[in-house]
């Protein structure tokens, strides 16, 4: 896939599902704001991180149901990405 083709596909995808991506972006912004507001409160940071990861999984399932492209492989992919996010942020950004 060339760079132009990928960019064109991404524009088409976002344009066709603008509400979905705005919802995900808004949730991401609220997650970052909450983590910033409660900086140093490790338990609350972890709760917000887990909530965002859960939202991401649910969002991905919803998005693919609307496209009629939902498969077990896709659900597992969203779960693995969410757990990777939790792991990386917990270990790297929120150490002990």
SS (H, E, C) 51-85: HHHHHHHHHHHHHHHHHCCCCHHHHHHHHHHHHHH
Q: Which of these, 49, 27, 22, lies nearest to 38 by C-alpha position? A: 49
Does 37 fall in a domain? yes
- Segment 43-66 shows an average pLDDT of 94
pLDDT recorded at residue 96: 64
87 in a structural domain: yes
Assign 62 a pLDDT band (cuts: 50, 70, 90): very high
Q: Assign residue 40 a region: left if phi > 0, alpha if psi is -120 to 50, beta otherwise?
A: left
| Encoded tokens for 66 | 């609307």
5 is a domain residue: no
**Residue 23 resides in a domain:** yes
Residue 53 lies in domain: 17-93
pLDDT classification of 57: cutoffs 50, 70, 90: very high
Domain for residue 9, yes or no? no
pLDDT in tens, 5-45: 888 888 888 888 899 999 999 999 999 999 999 988 888 98
pTM attached to this predicted model: 0.85
Rounded Cα gap, residues 50 and 4, in angstroms: 35
């Amino acid at each position: 896939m060339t760079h132009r083709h990928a960019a064109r596909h991404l524009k088409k995808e976002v344009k066709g599902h603008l509400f979905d991506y705005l919802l995900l972006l808004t949730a991401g912004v609220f997650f970052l704001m909450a983590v910033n507001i409660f900086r140093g409160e490790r338990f609350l940071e972890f709760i917000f991180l887990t909530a965002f990861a859960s939202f991401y999984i649910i969002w991905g399932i919803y998005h693919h149901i609307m496209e009629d492209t939902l498969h077990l492989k896709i659900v597992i992919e969203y779960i693995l990405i969410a757990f990777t996010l939790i792991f990386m942020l917990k270990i790297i950004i929120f150490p002990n």
